[in-house]
Amino acid sequence: ARLSDLNQTLDRRVTERTAELQASEMRLLEANRRKDEFLATLAHELRNPLAPVRNAIEVLKIKGADPKSVTWATTVVDRQVVALSRLIDDLMDLSRVSQGRIELKREIVSLNDVLSDAIESVRPLAAAARHELVTLLPDRTVAVDADRTRLAQAFVNLLNNAVKYTDPGGRIEVAVLLEKGGVVVSVRDTGIGIPPDHLERVFEMFSQVESALSRSRGGLGIGLALTERLVRMHGGSIKAQSEGLGRGSRFLVQLPLSQEVPHSEEAEQVLSRNG
């Protein structure tokens, strides 16, 4: 009887182990598939800017081209170079983040300042798409212990997506909600929305609801993965909400509060006391 018990236990272990191995093989295959897809997307995104740049160069080569065409061509080259630089910056950050090589230069900063930096950098893009950009920031100072540039980068990514995944004439709202011991920044848009089964997956590296190869909106699928890691490095968390396709999306970033007063405000307070 003991021998058959032992046999049964062994059988069960073998079955369990086999299932585990199969599951881990599936994960590897899936990761490999996503890597292949990413390489195709990357090639596509790198090649995309070249056609307009080539056209612009042809215009610039024409002797005595009219000034309007020259201005147009220069703008095209400018814009594409900016887009390519951004792509390459993201790629470099991606490799830094996955090797744990991003270091935060933390200081006590005002969250309003961080958000203002982010909002100002996307304002021209939002205006070009005729989006209404609404900000609901608190009157009182909300201090966070953060790397101003890196935290702003996280919000720029969210805002860029809000602009990109909303058809022209939409509404984008940034709001700060104060909670016990923490603060939540909400970035909400009236755009295409995210299907429920993708709400958690959008933060995974290379994950895109619809492949950049098959849609008009480009992208590498690394922005939200970077954002999630940057927020986590700040001791915070992020989640995505959406009422469904076509019903807009909302990203909530929760951050711990700092009890200290931001440096810039400290100086201002001293100045206002003295003046």
Q: With binding defined as CB under 6 A, does residue 118 bind ligand ADP?
A: no
Binding mask 146-185 for ligand ADP (x = CB under 6 A): ---------------xx--x--------------------
Q: What is the spatial distance between Cα 91 and Cα 88, in angstroms, rounded to a whole number?
A: 5
Q: Which is nearer to ligand ADP, 91 or 209 (CB)?
A: 209
Complex with ligand ADP: residue 114 or 159, whichever CB lies closer = 159
With CB under 6 A, what is the number of residues at the site for ligand ADP? 22
Burial of 137 (0-12, 13-18, 19+ CB in 10 A): middle
Q: Which residues of 155-171 are buried (b: 16+ CB within 10 A; e: fewer)?
A: bbbbbbbbbbbbeeebe
Please name which of 188, 143, 139 lies closest in space to residue 161, comparing C-alpha atoms: 188
Length of the chain equals: 275
Judged by CB, which is closer to ligand ADP: 186, or 207?
Answer: 207
Instruction: Choose among 81, 80, 79, 59: nearest CA to 69.
Output: 59
Amino acid at 252: L
CA-wise closest residue to 192 among 155, 223, 159, 163:
163
Which of 219, 229, 233, 234 touches ligand ADP (CB under 6 A)? 219
- Residue 190 as a binder of ligand ADP (CB under 6 A): the answer is no
Q: Which is nearer to ligand ADP, 97 or 194 (CB)?
A: 194
Q: How far is the CB of 93 from ligand ADP (least distance, A)?
A: 12
Query: In the 8-state DSSP scheme, what is residue 262?
Result: P
Task: Verify binding: residue 192, ligand ADP, rule CB under 6 A.
Answer: yes
Q: Which residue has the tokens 């090639």?
A: 43
List binders of ligand ADP among 223-262 (CB under 6 A): 223-225, 249
Nearest to 190 by CA among 212, 165, 226: 165
Q: How far is the CB of 1 from ligand ADP (least distance, A)?
A: 57
What's the closest the beta carbon of residue 156 comes to ligand ADP, in angstroms? 11
Tell the smallest beta-carbon distance from residue 81 to ligand ADP (Å). 19
Query: Judged by CB under 6 A, which of 93, 145, 147, 189 binds ligand ADP?
Result: 189
Subset of residues 194 to 213 that bind ligand ADP, contact rule: CB under 6 A:
194, 202, 207-210, 212
Q: How far apart are CA 259 and CA 238, in angstroms?
A: 22
> H helices then E strands: how many in the chain?
7, 7
Point out the residue whose Cβ comes nearest to ligand ADP: 219
Residues forming contacts to ligand ADP in the complex (CB under 6 A) are 161-162, 165, 189, 191-194, 202, 207-210, 212, 219-225, 249
